[in-house]
Amino acid sequence: MSKSFELPKELLLGSATAATQIEGGDVNNNWYHWSLAGKVGNGESSITGADHYNKYVEDVELLSELHHECYRMSIEWSRIEPEQGKWSSEGVEHYRDEFRRLIQKGIKPLVTLHHFSCPQWYQEKGGWLSENAVEDFIRFVKFSVETFGDQISEWCTINEPNVFANDSYMDGKYPPGGHGDIAAYMKVTKRMVIAHLKSYKLIHQIRKEKGFAGETKVGFAHHIAIFEPLNSHPLAKLGCFLSDYLFHEIHMKGFVEGKLVFPLGSGYPEGKGIFCDFMGINYYSRHLFKASYNPGNLFATPMVDPTIPESSKNDLGWEIYPEGLYKVCQRTWKRYKLPIYITENGIPDEKDEKREKYIIDHLYQLKRLLDDGIKVERYYYWSFLDNLEWNDGYGPRFGLVEVDYSNMKRKPRPSALRYAKICRTKKIVRP
Ligand code: GAL
């Protein structure tokens, strides 16, 4: 592995966040109510966040000081539509100002419309299981694109539909806390596919009709992990195959190709075509599948490779496996030839001992992809700031920038300064 390498200027480097994880202060989203019910670790609450809603001016300055070229963020649906059908001018003005400041600083925004949270009124109607789930979401998409479309040309419709449906209906971690409800997993997945396909068309249509400047780019952020059987046991292989199909493949077919495949359904609900202008990939880790003789686990249980040392794990015990990034990007490129955006990639590392190497090792994989002629256009490190790691609370520290939750002070970690230099020069010298 070479000691130093360079990345092309065209590959934009930056970071990502999500509204519910950093903003704080919103009482109208379902994660606030989930927190009130004591479902977030250590009794913590989304109400605090990293106080980004009040500190966004300072945070945009910091992004700029750290030379980030692009920034992926989400808008909180409940701040825009706190009650069904009632649009909040305060929410609109807030985001318009945040976008304006980013653009002024030359930081390209990519805006996510659904990042795991929804308004409480939507949750109370049944969330993505309600009869009007898609219709309600599409109304929000239409309003958002009409309202922000002059500032925002790049949109990510839905973040990690696979993790969302799994953690909300199979693992009980996210609201409404369903357990092992595979029927709900499928129903929600199908609705999210349809919502994405409709949004894709609508976003293009609105921006075109209104004559908004800039090339419209729409995609979603797919969580793609490396799945491998632990050994040659037939159940390990079968379980790995089934998990890969239900966690990755049915989404690829749906979100990218517009095709419903078994068990979601069949055919092309919104016509044939390609419904992504970029392939958004959230990549974190590798999971090995161990035969479990329990069809409930799809015949195999995912686990971390028992042979790897602690130095190859992050603070949450996930394997650090940079080559996996090369593999997932190469596979999707071969299939669709869509420009790749690494919409998330990052590490919880409180002591900041592994982050710099983690980033460099993953950027090196991007360099390999680019050398192979694969178009990689964006890298968004997860995350800009320490934040609420959903049901795990504020413990895991993913941030380039450390947040002292006692006074909400920001402090860039040493790795943030090293990454800033990489963003500015695109030259990487291994420490
Ligand atoms: C992703 C998610 C992010 C963040 C990250 C770190 O699944 O989109 O919101 O929590 O994982 O675990």
* Cα separations in angstroms, 345 against 16, 195, 229, 309, 312: 9, 25, 23, 21, 16
Of ligand 1's atoms, which has the minimum distance to the CA of residue 21? 9
Question: Which residue owns the Cα nearest ligand 1 atom 4?
Answer: 389
Cis status of the peptide bond prior to 309, with omega within 30 of 0: no
Query: Which ligand 1 atom is the nearest neighbour of the CA of 221?
Result: 8
Write out the two tokens for 160. Answer: 């990690």
- Name the residue with the closest Cα to ligand 1, atom 9: 18
Q: With contact defined as beta carbons under 8 Å apart, do 349 and 314 qualify?
A: yes
pLDDT at residue 344, rounded to an integer = 99
Cα 236 to ligand 1 centre (Å): 27
CB 14 within 8 A of CB 70: yes
State the catalytic residue, choosing from 23, 98, 160, 257.
Answer: 160
Minimum-distance ligand 1 atom for the alpha carbon of 389: 10
Ligand 1 geometric centre to CA of 282 (Å):
8
User: Cis peptide leading into 302, omega within 30 of 0?
Assistant: no
330 C-alpha vs ligand 1 centroid, how far in Å?
A: 22
**Ligand 1 probe mutation, 390, 392, 394, most atoms within 8 A of CB:** 390
Q: H-type helices in 274-354, by residue range? A: 323-336
For a ligand 1 pocket test, name from 110, 166, 282, 398 the mutation site with the most ligand atoms within 8 angstroms of its C-beta.
282
- Distance, CA 342 to ligand 1 centroid (Å)? 13
Block means of pLDDT (10 residues each) for the chain, length 431 residues? 89 99 98 98 97 98 99 99 98 99 98 99 98 98 98 99 97 96 97 99 98 98 98 96 97 98 98 98 98 86 95 98 98 98 99 98 98 98 98 98 98 98 96 76
Distance (angstroms) between ligand 1 centre and the Cα of 196 equals: 19
Q: What CA–CA distance (Å, rounded) separates 46 from 22?
A: 8
Cα of 398 to ligand 1 centre, how many Å? 9
Told to judge if 160 belongs to the known catalytic residues of this protein, a careful annotator would answer yes
**CATH code of the region 4-429:** 3.20.20.80
For residue 4, what is the enclosing H or E element? strand 4-6
Q: What is the pLDDT of residue 296?
A: 77
- The SS3 call for residue 227 is strand
Residue nearest to atom 12 of ligand 1 (CA): 389
Ligand 1 centroid – CA 163 distance (Å): 9
| The pLDDT of residue 294 | 80
**Of 267, 299, 120, 244, nearest to 190 (Cα)?**
267
Provide the pLDDT for residue 2: 67
The Cα–Cα gap between 321 and 75 comes to 31
Cα–Cα distance, 318 to 348 (Å, whole number): 9
Percentages of the chain per state (helix, strand, coil), in multiples of 5? 45, 20, 40
**Which of the listed residues 157, 247, 344, 358 should we mutate to test ligand 1's pocket, taking the one with most ligand atoms within 8 A of CB?**
344
Domain-wise residue ranges, the chain: 4-429
List residues near ligand 1 (CB under 6 A): 18, 21, 159-160, 163, 223, 282, 344, 382, 389-390, 398
Q: Outline where 133-211 has alpha helix (H).
A: 133-148, 161-169, 182-209
Instruction: Flag whether the pTM goes above 0.95.
Output: yes
pLDDT of the residue at 1: 64
Give residue 431's pLDDT: 76
Question: 349 C-alpha vs ligand 1 centroid, how far in Å?
Answer: 14
- What separation in angstroms does the CA of 398 have from each of 16, 158, 227, 351, 382? 11, 21, 23, 11, 7
